[in-house]
Amino acid sequence: MREQDFDWNLLKSYLAIATQGSLSAAARVSGISQPTLGRHVATLEQDLGVTLFERQSSGMTLTDAGASLLQRAREVEAATSSFSLAATGRSQTIAGTIRITASDVVSFYLLPEIIAEMRQVEPELDVELVSSNEVQNLLTRDADIAVRMVEPAQAELIVRKVNDMAIGAFASTSYLDRAGRPETTDDLYQHSIVGYDRADMLIKGMRSAGYRVERSDFGLRTDAQTVYWRLVEAGAGIGFGSVYVARKNPQLERLLPDLVTPPLPMWITAHRELKTSLRVRRAFDFLYEALHALPLSEPK
């Protein structure tokens, strides 16, 4: 295979599968479909004349040949990403595509109106919105801008604190009419509480407030944040979430408003080289101003 004929998309697919360990996980993270990933790997194996992965029921395992190429492939990825970042950073036009990633709740409840307004103001700006609770890697161009509830630590990123999202306890009127309304925090133990499955943020938050809870204390669990809210709205039990989001549904009642629940800080971030791009800078500043203006925190 000649170097000038090499398809770098094959390398990207190989790295995604090697990192995630399965086609399905690689597809979720990379945005490339499973059939396309499979074809890319088959093509790369044929071009190189080696077997890169062992196909197993539990996923994809690197062969010795595949493992020996992994570090070199990551070095190539880092070099091409650095080149792309530098080129994008010099862009001085607003027209083009911006890839934004945010959690399911932020993507579903906060960003649609903001992005719609941004595209009215900047119609030449194309937007790709990645709704994912996984942390997308800005350094390898998985996204241009990220809205996160944790502060990124990488020195290569531009990070701004944008807001604080107040958290409260809520339940639907239908559930409370059936199960009763808790009057004290101890009453929560007598209620059905919708919990997370593998994520431990709710358990940590309740423990920090003095509650001794385990995963088994939640009879209904899901890690999908938008599904979590729908379960609460449907009357499945008491849930914890954004006060701002809950206010949008008149069927939800705020419980124990004096309950101390730490707010979730919100950060907006981009790669520092991308910040010199007019397109990215415009989108970054627009998102910051719009998210900063939202009444996400508790009223003073």
Q: Which distant-in-sequence residues (6+ apart) come within 8 Å of 177 by Cβ?
A: none
Q: Which distant-in-sequence residues (6+ apart) come within 8 Å of 234 by Cβ?
A: 172
The answer as to whether 31 is a domain residue is: yes
Whether residues 230 and 276 fall in one domain = no
Q: Which distant-in-sequence residues (6+ apart) come within 8 Å of 116 by Cβ?
A: none
- Structure token digits, residue 152: 């990124």
Strand partners, 143: none
Whether residues 103 and 234 fall in one domain = no
Whether residues 92 and 229 fall in one domain = no
Give the pLDDT of residue 209: 63
Whether residues 198 and 57 fall in one domain = no
Whether residues 14 and 35 fall in one domain = yes
The answer as to whether 76 is a domain residue is: no
Whether residues 158 and 191 fall in one domain = no
Whether residues 246 and 187 fall in one domain = yes
**110: which DSSP letter?**
I
Whether residues 101 and 249 fall in one domain = no
Residue ranges, the chain, pLDDT below 70 = 1-6, 75-93, 135-141, 155, 203, 205-211, 273-276, 299-300
Give the pLDDT of residue 276: 67
Give the pLDDT of residue 34: 84
Instruction: Give Cα 270 distance to the centre of its chain.
Output: 14
Whether residues 274 and 149 fall in one domain = yes
Domain count, the chain: 3
Give the CATH number of the domain where residue 31 resides: 1.10.10.10
| Domain edge (last residue) among 38, 68, 98 | 68
Whether residues 232 and 106 fall in one domain = no
Give the pLDDT of residue 57: 75
* Other beta carbons less than 10 A from residue 67's beta carbon: 12
Whether residues 180 and 246 fall in one domain = yes
Note whether 37 and 13 are within 8 A (CB).
yes
Whether residues 274 and 251 fall in one domain = no
Note whether 226 and 105 are within 8 A (CB).
yes
The answer as to whether 298 is a domain residue is: no
Q: Which domain holds residue 268?
A: 88-165+264-293
Q: What is the pLDDT of residues 31-55, one digit of tens each?
A: 788 888 888 888 888 888 888 888 8
Give the pLDDT of residue 2: 44
